[in-house]
A = this chain, B = another copy of it.
Amino acid sequence: MLGQLTRSPASLAGLRSSTQLVARLSQSSRPVRLHRAITSAVSQADQEATAASTAAAVQQQQQSSSPDGTGTQQQAQQRKVGAAGPRTSSKEMVDTSPPRGTRDFYPEDMRLRNWLFGEWAAVAQLFGFEQFDVPVLESEELFVRKAGEEITDQLYNFQDKGGRRVALRPEITPSLARLVLGKGKGLALPAKWWIVGQCWRYERMTRGRRREHYQWNMDIVGVPGVEAEAELLAAITTFFSRVGISAADVGIKVSSRKVLAAVLERYSVPPENFAQVCVIVDKLEKLPRDKVEAELAALGVSADATEGILSALSCRSLDQLGELLGPAGHDALGDLRQLWALAAGYGFQEWLVFDASVVRGLAYYTGVVFEGFDRAGQLRAICGGGRYDKLLGTFGGEDVPCAGFGFGDAVIVELLKDKQLLPALTQQVDDVIMVMDESLRPAACGIAARLRAAGRRVDVILEAKKMKWAFKHAERSGAARLLLVGGGEWERGAVAVKDLASREQTEVPMDQLA
Please report A residues at the B interface, Cβ cutoff 8 Å: 1-2, 8, 10-11, 13-14, 27, 44-45, 47-48, 76-77, 80-81, 83-85, 87-88, 91-100, 102-107, 110-111, 113-114, 125-128, 130-142, 144, 156, 158-166, 168, 178-179, 181-186, 188, 190, 192-193, 198, 200, 202, 212, 220, 223-225, 227-228, 230-231, 234, 238, 341-342, 344-347, 393-398, 427-429, 432, 441-446, 448-449, 452, 455-460, 462-463, 476-477
Contact in complex: B1, A144 (CB < 8 Å)? yes
- B residues near A477, Cβ cutoff 8 Å: 128
Given known pairs A14-B139, A106-B132, A142-B94, the reply for A462 and B228 (CB within 8 Å) is: yes
Decide: B110 and A223 in contact? CB cutoff 8 A.
Answer: no
A183 neighbours in B (Cβ, 8 Å): 77, 80, 106
List, sorted by A's number, 9 A–B pairs whose CB atoms are closer than 8 Å.
A10-B165, A14-B164, A84-B181, A93-B181, A126-B455, A136-B136, A341-B442, A342-B442, A342-B445
In Å, the complex CA distance between A480 and B463 comes to: 51
CB distance from A445 to the nearest CB of B (A): 4
Known contacts A396-B2, A463-B227: does B130 contact A110 (CB below 8 Å)?
Answer: yes
Q: A225: which B residues are within 8 A, CB to CB?
A: 462-463
A100 to chain B, nearest CB (A): 7
Q: Given A182-B96, A457-B126, is A394 in contact with B2 using a C-beta cutoff of 8 Å? A: yes
Contacts A186-B77, A347-B446; A98 near B181 (Cβ below 8 A): no
Question: B102 contacts A137, CB within 8 Å?
Answer: yes
A80-B110 in contact (CB<8A): no
Report the minimum CB–CB distance from A455 to chain B (whole Å).
Answer: 7
The reply to whether A227 and B441 contact each other, CB–CB distance below 8 Å, is: yes
- List, in ascending order, chain B residues with CB within 8 A of A142's CB: 94
Which residues of B lie under 8 Å from residue A139 when comparing CB positions?
11, 13-14, 94-95, 99
Which 10 A-B pairs give the minimum distances between C-beta atoms?
A345-B442, A128-B459, A93-B396, A107-B130, A345-B445, A96-B182, A91-B396, A158-B158, A80-B184, A105-B133
A166 interface neighbour in B99, B103, B135, Cβ under 8 Å: B99
Cross-chain contact A126 with B452 (CB below 8 angstroms): yes
**Contact in complex: B190, A135 (CB < 8 Å):** no
Q: Is the CB of B8 within 8 A of A134?
A: no
Identify which of B127, B134, B136, B228 contacts A452 (C-beta below 8 A).
B127
Question: Which residues of chain B are within 8 angstroms of A106 by Cβ–Cβ distance?
Answer: 132, 179, 183
Contact of A395 among B2, B128, B138, B156 (CB under 8 A): B2
**Closest chain B residue to A202 by CB distance?**
B161
Could you say how many copies of this chain the assembly holds?
Answer: 2
- Looking at chain A's contact residues, is the secondary structure mostly helix, strand, loop, or mixed? mixed
Q: How far is the CA of A230 from the CA of B444 in the complex (A)?
A: 12
Q: How far is the CB of A345 from chain B (nearest CB, A)?
A: 3
CA gap between A2 and B147 in the complex, in Å? 13
The CA-CA distance from A238 to B457 in the complex, in Å, is 13
Q: How far is the CB of A134 from chain B (nearest CB, A)?
A: 5
Least CB distance from A175 to B in Å reads 8
- Closest B residue by C-beta to A191: B107
Q: Tell me the bound Cα distance from A308 to B458 in angstroms.
A: 43
Which residue of B is nearest A97, CB measured? B182
Q: Check A220 against B462 for contact (C-beta < 8 Å).
A: yes
On whether the beta carbons of B223 and A462 are closer than 8 Å, the reply is: yes
Report Cα–Cα, A140/B11, bound state, in Å.
8
Q: Which of B163, B192, B238 contacts A10 (CB 8 A)?
A: B163
Q: How long is the Cα–Cα vector from A165 to B1 in the complex, in angstroms?
A: 11
B residues less than 8 Å from A396 (CB atoms): 2, 27, 85, 88, 91-94
Q: Which of A76, A186, A443, A449 has the most CB of B within 10 A?
A: A449
Residues in chain B near residue A448, CB distance under 8 A: 234, 346
Find chain B residues with CB under 8 A from A227 CB.
Answer: 441, 460, 462-463
> With contacts A77-B182, A84-B181, A96-B181 known, what are 4 further pairs, Cβ within 8 A?
A88-B398, A128-B477, A342-B441, A346-B445
